[in-house]
Amino acid sequence: MELIEIAKMTSKGQVTVPAPIRAIFNLQKGSSVIFKVTDKGVFFLPCEITERNTYTQEEWGKIKRLVAERGKSYKTSKGAREHLRSL
């Protein structure tokens, strides 16, 4: 199948995906896409982003103990992870 559509880029670098392409890939408000740059051009691919747990059960246990013992909380996962490594 070959489909050619044209879209203009806004001053903010945004492009509206033409309706026929949105329909083919069932793209809706909030859909995620990947842009892959190759030597042949740019590929635009629909994708799904799934949540995954960033900590193991053991790490969560350590975090809960730390909070209970010291009343410490972290604003970012990076800060919590660095502290866990230092234990």
Q: Of 65, 33, 29, give the one whose Cα is nearest residue 49.
A: 33
User: 64 and 22 in one domain?
Assistant: no
DSSP H or E run through 84: helix 77-86
User: 62 and 46 in one domain?
Assistant: no
pLDDT in tens, 44-84: 999 988 877 788 888 888 888 877 776 667 778 888 888 78
Phi, psi of 28, rounded to the nearest 5 degrees:
-130, 175
User: 72 and 42 in one domain?
Assistant: no
User: 7 and 29 in one domain?
Assistant: yes
Domain count, the chain: 2
Distance CA 32, CA 13 (A): 17
User: 5 and 31 in one domain?
Assistant: yes
Phi, psi of 66, rounded to the nearest 5 degrees:
-60, -45
pLDDT in tens, 18-52: 999 999 999 999 999 999 999 999 999 999 888 77
Domain interval for residue 67:
57-86
Question: What pTM value is reported for the model?
Answer: 0.53
Q: Tokens for 13, please give them.
A: 């670098």
User: 64 and 44 in one domain?
Assistant: no
Q: Are 44 and 33 in contact (CB under 8 A)?
A: yes
